[in-house]
Structure 1
Amino acid sequence: MRWRKEAGTGDSRSFEYILLAILVFFIIGVIFRSAVVFIAVGIFAAYLIGYKIYDKSIVRSLNLKNNTRTIKLFPGEEESFTFEIENRSMFPLINGEFSFQIGSAIKAYTIAKKDEDYWKELQLPLSILQKKKTVLEFPIRAEQRGVARVKNITYDFPHLLNFSRLRLRYYDFYQTEFIVYPKLLPVNGINAVFHMMPGDSRLNYSPYEDVQSPLGTRDYSYSDPFHKINWKATVKTQKMQTNIYEKVVDRTFVFIVNLSTENDKNMVSFNKNLENLLSYTAYLSEYATKMRIPFEIYINARKPGKIPYVHLHEGEGKTHYMYALEMLARIHKQAPILPFNKMMFQVGKQFIKPKTIIFIGDLTGGSMEMMSSWKQVQNSIYQVVAGEGGAAIRPVAREAIKNAT
């Protein structure tokens, strides 16, 4: 049963009073053998039967449309949201009040009475005629990064037969989910960061070539290797011809996000700039997508399972970017933190070829020591540094890594 009448509502007492009145009048009728009293008993009994039919009909016949849907927004964006409710009973529901709650990531700004209470219970007037549908539509605005759901749905209305307030609560899980992505905070200097290695990305000035992607031929030069000679083209043109291939590089980005920070006593605490860190990561992901650069993300937010940290596997394209935004949106503001050095140890074992590594957040002394073992295969390590003029990307000095050991 999707809707249930809340215990303790006023109409339950009315039912008990009517039942008691029937018993009293029935006893009086039997004792005095009065036809008038039995008529009164019949009237009360008919009223009681109608009362029960009304209660069951309302609970069973009220239907709230509950399709699975996900609404994805950036902070500040607006969307129209609707509730579709159907009254399938023969009784009208008049002068009711529909109530619900939405998480703090979303604001129904036309309904909330106070700006500071927008995430608390919201009320809308609602009347539904018999055998009719009603649509409640109102605008919502994304307030802050996070995930929100509609919960605590109730409908409060006057009972048709005794006029006391009757409250129905919706007990099914409401399937609508709101996902608010992080803001995109710019990171200066990212366009100059990449590590040139053999790979799949096209770049005209790369020293590496994709032999599976020939572009054509040109006249042979004495410096050309023998295996590049195109013998068919040579026979056709009667001149030595050399194959030309696409220039390629590996520009894969690895974003490693540290949500914790250490004080002077080496005590680990939650980084107060968490939102900015995730916003920088979102911006870098957008940049990589625009430039068709594969990327992956590691975040030291603890999660259950064999891999105790949040990880988005390497990928590229718009779909991968949307996965990244959703993953960042789902990081809880008070998520349990995995020690950064522990995650770094696990991540370092996965590096089997050079990539461009970008750290977002603080670098601990232990992490600097671990990076010293990466330098054999990792030559491009950077860190996003926040300043008064915004965030910028800076190379992690090799001297600092060597000194850490």
Structure 2
Amino acid sequence: MDPNQYDLHMETRFQRIKQRVRGKKSGTYSNDEWSGWVQQIENERGLRMMNAVLFLLLSVSFFLGSTPLFFLFFAILAYMWGNFYYLTHVAKKLEIHILEEKLKLFTEDEGMLRLRITHNSLLPIFFGRLRLGTDKNILFQHGEEQIHMNQLHFNFHQVGRSQWEVVLPFTAVKRGVAQLHLFDMEIDSFFGWGKVYLQTRDKMQFEVIVYPRSEKVAGLEKIFPKKQGEQPSRSSLFEEKSRVLGTRDYVPGDPFGNIHWKATARMNSLQSKVYDRTTQLSWLFVIDISTSSFEEKMRGIAFLLHYATKHNISFSILVNIKKLGNPSYIVMNSGEGKQQLYAGMMLLARIKVENVMIPSMTFGQIIHQHAIRHPYVIACTEQAVMETWNLPTSTEGFALETVGDGVKLVKLRKGMKHQGIFMKHA
């Protein structure tokens, strides 16, 4: 990074810290607001000293009475002042707005960052250079991959009192959330001496949410309903007494309470009620951010979320990440439908493997508390880790494992759910 740009970057950070200390908000600003630039002129002190020296030389020319020398120094002084004036005023009325602040994409999808650059000054920009940097979840066309972020540099020029839009295409390369962490500009002097560095006072409000692309999971046939619940099922052994589908002829052995008396009077023969057969088919997804092949398994979780939504299966998500507040871990309550799918996919996109994890023993107790309410636990972790969890006896456990280029469900072996506990007591 250029030393002047580094100084400007640090100066902007100090200004934001001071604003926070004084109680002022300094976060992001919306499209309708513009907080202005923090600018720094290259060699500003040298320019001021040169102007002072020229002024002294000009005074000497007056004292000596040399007309050619007077005009020469006057021309140089005018050049210097014109150069300084250009650098200090060229970006005074320059504004940049992001037209779409939030985008939602899947991995490998294409997107665009659209900027509107408004230049209200009469001074033209002939040699402008814009630089921006985002999280590594997206990669701009013709951009550069850095260690901590992906950057894009491009040159531009703009006449005074004008407005134009810039479209910067990019590709969503990785699950996660990408934001603008670097947005600065440099403008070279029209007179050829010096440049001005600009950085926005506040963070530009731009966010790209990259959802994991679904990848089909093998072994779904291993999950079959086994408890009474609210999920309709023709093959279930359980009946929901509040859902009467119709009637049928009475068969010896039918409970007396199942007789439909109104239908019996209408048909002149005993009629029994036919109830809707239901079962409990709710899933608890447990995500361990320390598992191997994490991104591949997340694509499998995304597929299962879509599958559950399509088949009206309620689900909940539990992640071993610490957070402030109560509860002190990330959990999404049970639900179903498109809103639940949207919330689940949003949670998958925002999970970061760099977060602080909950200790394994504590997390095992948390899993047990939540698993009591779910007949099935689908874990994004290794089977060996899952076998150490104290799952309820009524809960079936499945682990996601990568096989070649795909993902499959592996059922937790019977008798292994409590092996860790037995070994501990032994």
Q: Structure 1 length as normaliser, TM-score?
A: 0.83
Task: Tell me the secondary structure at the aligned position of residue 393 of structure 1.
Answer: strand
Tell me which of 129, 139, 148 is aligned to 2:178. Answer: 148
Alpha-carbon offset, residue 199 of structure 1: 2.0
**CA–CA distance in 1 between the matches of 2:113 and 2:36?**
21
Which digits, 9 at most, give the CA deviation of each residue in 1:267-312, with x for residues without a partner?
A: xxxx442222322222222221222211111121333333333222
Amino acid aligned to 1:201: Q
Tell me which of 163, 180, 205 is aligned to 2:210. Answer: 180
User: How many residues are matched?
Assistant: 387
Alpha-carbon offset, residue 53 of structure 1: 5.9
Counterpart in the other structure of 1:394: 410
Contact 2:383 2:412 in 1 (8 A): no
Tell me which of 256, 260, 264 is aligned to 2:286. Answer: 256
Contact 1:11 1:165 in 2 (8 A): no
Query: RMSD of the alignment, in Å?
Result: 3.2
Alpha-carbon offset, residue 64 of structure 1: 0.8
Counterpart in the other structure of 2:46: 13
Amino acid aligned to 1:4: V
Unaligned residue ranges in structure 1 (runs of 5+): 261-270
Within-5 A mapping of 1:269-308: 271-308=291-328
Counterpart in the other structure of 1:263: none
Alpha-carbon offset, residue 28 of structure 1: 6.2
Within-5 A mapping of 1:198-347: 198-260=228-290, 271-347=291-367
Alpha-carbon offset, residue 329 of structure 1: 2.0
2:165 corresponds to 1:135:
yes
Unaligned residue ranges in structure 2 (runs of 5+): 1-34
Amino acid aligned to 1:278: M
2:91 corresponds to 1:59:
yes
Task: Tell me the secondary structure at the aligned position of residue 90 of structure 2.
Answer: helix
Task: Tell me the secondary structure at the aligned position of residue 234 of structure 2.
Answer: coil
Task: Tell me the secondary structure at the aligned position of residue 13 of structure 1.
Answer: helix
Alpha-carbon offset, residue 56 of structure 1: 5.2
Alpha-carbon offset, residue 13 of structure 1: 3.0
Specify whether residues 194 and 26 from structure 1 end up closer, same or farther in structure 2 by C-alpha distance, changes over 3 A only.
farther
Alpha-carbon offset, residue 82 of structure 1: 1.6
**CA–CA distance in 1 between the matches of 2:149 and 2:250?**
72
Counterpart in the other structure of 2:123: 91
Counterpart in the other structure of 2:37: 3
Within-5 A mapping of 1:367-382: 368=388, 370-371=390-391, 374-375=392-393, 378-382=394-398
**CA–CA distance in 2 between the matches of 1:291 and 1:283?**
12
**CA–CA distance in 2 between the matches of 1:302 and 1:337?**
6
Amino acid aligned to 2:125: L
Contact 2:379 2:386 in 1 (8 A): no
Amino acid aligned to 1:171: R
Counterpart in the other structure of 1:22: 55
**CA–CA distance in 1 between the matches of 2:354 and 2:236?**
44
**CA–CA distance in 2 between the matches of 1:339 and 1:148?**
28
**CA–CA distance in 2 between the matches of 1:49 and 1:333?**
54
Contact 2:289 2:353 in 1 (8 A): no
Counterpart in the other structure of 1:75: 107
**CA–CA distance in 2 between the matches of 1:355 and 1:272?**
26
**CA–CA distance in 2 between the matches of 1:234 and 1:285?**
45
Specify whether residues 365 and 335 from structure 1 end up closer, same or farther in structure 2 by C-alpha distance, changes over 3 A only.
closer
**CA–CA distance in 2 between the matches of 1:35 and 1:116?**
57
Which digits, 9 at most, give the CA deviation of each residue in 1:1-23, with x for residues without a partner?
A: 4212135x145533442244235
**CA–CA distance in 1 between the matches of 2:277 and 2:320?**
36
Contact 1:146 1:330 in 2 (8 A): yes
Specify whether residues 51 and 402 from structure 1 end up closer, same or farther in structure 2 by C-alpha distance, changes over 3 A only.
closer
Alpha-carbon offset, residue 402 of structure 1: 4.8
**CA–CA distance in 1 between the matches of 2:252 and 2:203?**
73
Task: Tell me the secondary structure at the aligned position of residue 398 of structure 1.
Answer: coil
Specify whether residues 233 and 366 from structure 1 end up closer, same or farther in structure 2 by C-alpha distance, changes over 3 A only.
closer
**CA–CA distance in 2 between the matches of 1:152 and 1:6?**
16
Task: Tell me the secondary structure at the aligned position of residue 281 of structure 1.
Answer: helix
Counterpart in the other structure of 2:15: none
Q: Structure 2 length as normaliser, TM-score?
A: 0.79
Comparing 273-282 and 134-143, the one that deviates more: 273-282
Contact 1:107 1:119 in 2 (8 A): no
**CA–CA distance in 2 between the matches of 1:87 and 1:297?**
48
**CA–CA distance in 2 between the matches of 1:50 and 1:244?**
92
2:104 corresponds to 1:104:
no
Which digits, 9 at most, give the CA deviation of each residue in 1:176-195, with x for residues without a partner?
A: 11122224233211144133
**CA–CA distance in 1 between the matches of 2:66 and 2:273?**
115
Amino acid aligned to 1:6: Q
2:381 corresponds to 1:361:
yes
Specify whether residues 191 and 369 from structure 1 end up closer, same or farther in structure 2 by C-alpha distance, changes over 3 A only.
closer
Counterpart in the other structure of 1:349: 369
**CA–CA distance in 2 between the matches of 1:44 and 1:226?**
111
**CA–CA distance in 2 between the matches of 1:284 and 1:386?**
15
Specify whether residues 38 and 396 from structure 1 end up closer, same or farther in structure 2 by C-alpha distance, changes over 3 A only.
same
Alpha-carbon offset, residue 60 of structure 1: 3.1
Amino acid aligned to 1:21: L
Alpha-carbon offset, residue 106 of structure 1: 0.6
